[in-house]
A and B are shown apart, each in its own frame.
Chain A
Amino acid sequence: MFDRLKYKAKHWVTGKMNLPEDVLLDVPRLTMIGQLHLHVENHRGILHFSNEQVRLKLTQGEILINGENFVIKNILPDEILLEGTIVEIRYVNDHDMGGSHE
């Protein structure tokens, strides 16, 4: 209940004060350069990594990236730079993914 209130308050503040959402809300910020690079900030760890698919854990839910020839160029506690040919990025929410949490 309290969390929900806090979230709502944050949402209200960002909306009213014109602040970028990723600063206050715990949501990822994705920067993509063509199909070549994907820079994800605010992730919470790697769930799966292969040449065709990367799954990253987020504060809420996870993100699924499909493509080819993936290479993790750099990895830091809350930042990841992915290189390869990115085809698809998809958010997967908690309720529709059947809980393969780490």
Chain B
Amino acid sequence: MNKQRGPSDVKVKLNAERLESIINECFRQNIVIKDVVRTDSNSVTFLTPLSSMGDLESIVSQYGGDIEVLKPSLMESYRDLIRRRVGFFTGILVFVTILIVLSQMVWKIEIRGADPDIEQTIVAGLEDIGLQIGTFQFLLPSPAGIQKEILDKTDGVTWIGVERKGTAYYLNVAEQSLPEEKETPSPRHIISKKTAVVQSIYAEKGQVVVQENDLVKKGDLLISGFIGKGENAKAVPASGKVLGETWYKTTVELPIKQKVNTLTGPTTKMYAIQLFGLRLPVWGFSAKEEYDDYVVTERVFNPAIKEWELPAAWVVTTYSEKNTTEQSSSVQEAKKHAQKAARYKMKKRLPKEAHIKDEKILQSRTQDGKVKLVIHYQVIEDITSEAPIIQGD
């Protein structure tokens, strides 16, 4: 038997002369009454569901008596509580709703095992389907559907596995490893790119027509694409490597006296808050006046959520004391510097495989506090270039 008070049970006090008759009438009409206790000679208290209060009242009035509610039902009292704390309960409700809504969104898309370009096409394809960060999951097709669609849209992949874990989508990509397409180049000659002295020849295909230490000019034939003699002659794509010695002349100019900036050590810092581009210093106002000459370094700490930067930032400006001295070096040293600079300049100009064999200073002049050098370089580099054979058939 249920001893507990139900959520809709109201505690009622009934005052009447003929209590027993009322109780009898109640259960005859199937009104549930529980926990009937006699309080005094003509009153009882009992529990009854809220829904049968109307019937009960009509019976009571019929028999002559009055009824009073001692305790409202739990349901009613909770309803009152909720009504009193509307803000709190709406807050809970809003929170739960937001939580549920946010948990239905896609927060992460991770593509694993794809090249950047394939990844790009996959991302574009996903956007077509509608899968991007911030969309609702229930608007999307199932992972299997996405998988099928994205697989149709993307070339160069054998398989894409789409997996959903909570709010994240993981795409495992298995790329197609096609056998590399071998170019079948058309027949060609190897010719010289520039004027040089041939150093070494290595012909993979074709007929070598020059010898080591030959001087070749730009456009000269190095390896011929025609092989065989007489009837067996045919044209092939010649290939090979011909290293040649080439020459370069560089001019550099460098002042003898050089300005050198050195930091002396002490620093002061200024802190500021930056709001919407407006900078408000909060500490170290006089940091700027501390030194005559200084180097300024600025670090901005800007909190950002994804790509969205907050308009507020913390700026730390560091002023470091600087000392500028003029360093005058000897002419000899200046020349050394200039030579180094020239070499650096050359290396930047030459292709990677090339190397400098020798260098010679052709001219060195000191004038107006400057050193001027003209240097001649001997460089070994690849001089091959391709020239197609146009066949008249």
Contact B38 A73 (CB under 8 A): no
Question: Which of A1-9, A13-21, A22-30, A47-55 contacts its partner?
Answer: A47-55
Tell me if A88 counts as interface (CB < 8 A to partner B).
no
Kindly provide the distance from the CB of B9 to the nearest chain A CB, expressed in whole angstroms: 12
Tell me if B33 counts as interface (CB < 8 A to partner A).
yes
Tell me if A34 counts as interface (CB < 8 A to partner B).
no
Contact B21 A102 (CB under 8 A): yes
Cβ contacts under 8 Å, B24 to chain A: 45-46, 102
Tell me if B27 counts as interface (CB < 8 A to partner A).
yes
Contact A46 B23 (CB under 8 A): yes
Contact A51 B27 (CB under 8 A): no
Interface string of B27-43 (1 = CB under 8 A from A): 11010011111100100
Tell me if A71 counts as interface (CB < 8 A to partner B).
yes
Contact B33 A75 (CB under 8 A): yes
Contact B23 A49 (CB under 8 A): yes
Interface string of B1-32 (1 = CB under 8 A from A): 11100000000000000011101101110100
Size band of the interface chain A makes with B: 10 to 19
Kindly provide the distance from the CB of A35 to the nearest chain B CB, expressed in whole angstroms: 17
Tell me if A81 counts as interface (CB < 8 A to partner B).
yes
Kindly provide the distance from the CB of A55 to the nearest chain B CB, expressed in whole angstroms: 8
Majority DSSP secondary structure for residues of B touching A? mixed
Majority DSSP secondary structure for residues of A touching B? strand
**Given A49-B36, A49-B38, A49-B44, do A73 and B23 touch, yes or no (CB 8 Å)?**
no
Cβ contacts under 8 Å, B20 to chain A: 45-49, 102
**Given A46-B20, A49-B23, A102-B21, do A72 and B35 touch, yes or no (CB 8 Å)?**
yes
Size band of the interface chain B makes with A: 20 to 34
Cβ contacts under 8 Å, B38 to chain A: 49-51, 70
Cross-chain contact of B36 among A45, A75, A76 (Cβ < 8 A): A75
Contact B30 A71 (CB under 8 A): no
Chain A residue nearest to B37 (CB atoms) is A71
**Given A49-B44, A77-B27, do A72 and B36 touch, yes or no (CB 8 Å)?**
yes
Kindly provide the distance from the CB of B278 to the nearest chain A CB, expressed in whole angstroms: 76
Chain A residue nearest to B46 (CB atoms) is A72
Cross-chain contact of A77 among B19, B28, B35, B46 (Cβ < 8 A): B28
Q: Which residues of A47-81 are within 8 A (CB) of B?
A: 47-51, 70-77, 81
Cβ contacts under 8 Å, B34 to chain A: 72-75
Contact A75 B27 (CB under 8 A): yes
Kindly provide the distance from the CB of A81 to the nearest chain B CB, expressed in whole angstroms: 6
- Residue numbers of B with Cβ under 8 A of A are 1-3, 19-21, 23-24, 26-28, 30, 33-38, 41, 44, 46
7 A-B contacts (beta carbon < 8 Å) = A47-B20, A48-B20, A49-B19, A51-B37, A72-B36, A72-B37, A73-B34
